[in-house]
Structure 1
Amino acid sequence: MPNTRRWDDDPFTRRARRENYPARSVYKLQEIQKRAAVLRKGDRVLDLGCAPGSWLLFAAEVTGPAGRVVGVDLTPVTVALPAHVTVITGDVLVLAENPAGLPGGPFDAVLSDMAPATTGSRGVDAARSYHLCEAALDLARQVLKPGGAFVCKIFQGEDFRGFVDAVKAEFAEHRIFKPQSSRKASSEIYLIGKGKK
């Protein structure tokens, strides 16, 4: 069982509290933005697995009020959000099968920080992560504008290379990136696709 006290005392967690973000994950997206510039002012952004809301807040800051940010998560988001942010409490797996009712599209960027409920078994957790990533990429294929960007967290496992190849097939350029703000022991890594074909 993880030592949650150690995680609560983590410098990124303390910084997130000071800067009024609900979670330390915001710094992962900030690093991705600094490295790959996946978000621009005025963009329409879809954030999958958006709770507790840190990525929503950061995306809203970057896109500004001329942009639109739509978040989807099974867990309700309880933080105060700007007027140009909409949250849907729902299942991304269901949405990927029928995105017609999704407001705000087509999108300039699709972000996924989704993670499965973990079991402690790296193989099982990686397979579950891959399933979520497939759904995120499938949704991105349907709702991203040509030239759009895709960011997806995946746990490294036997399906990792296949997912990299799937992203490469959809985007003009791709990157594999492990933010410094990711926990050292975590097998999470981010795939970044830019220039949707």
Structure 2
Amino acid sequence: MSGIKPLGKHAEKRLSAARIRAISDPGFYGDGHGLYLKVDPSGAKRWIHRIVIQGKRRDIGLGPASLVTLSEAREMALENRKSARAGNDPIAAKRLSKAILSFKETAQQVHDLNKPTWRNEKHGQQWLNTMETYVFPFFGSKQVSSVDSADVMAALTPIWNSHPETARRVKQRIGTVLKYAMAKGWRNDNPADAIT
């Protein structure tokens, strides 16, 4: 059978790893629930998930078959279906997750936004220096959406007893960055609030 959408009952899990390796004719090969292996004329194989999102049919690329296994593609398709069924848009969520900055980049934005309010230039530089010294080495490169209370604790623990006032200020500055991330829609909570 060539790579066309089969008619009749939609069977699920029609593909297997062996079949995927054997397919060479260009076309779409369905696995079920909108998951397709697309074979290009060049022979390249990639996963496509066809799904209805908020009333519109959309195709979501899940990656090349050489990097994404059949079971991983099925898992991603299931997550997309659950998300769409809940009224969400998995494509928009994917775009948003790519747009989310690292904690360090977000802190830099917060610093730049607050520049006009610093008492003086030294105060503003001190704000950034404490982040460079005590925070960025621990989770500066992490997406701001994935920073958790364990990350905040890891940064504060080394200075909590030796420099309590610095620790209090650093915690407050971390909280300010996380509140900004909440305002941007990048996260729903502020894990710095959980630390007393």
TM-score (norm 1): 0.29
Higher strand share: 1
Higher helix share: 2
Q: Which has the higher contact order (CA 8 A, sep 6+)?
A: 1
If you compute each CA radius of gyration, which structure gives the higher value, 1 or 2? 2
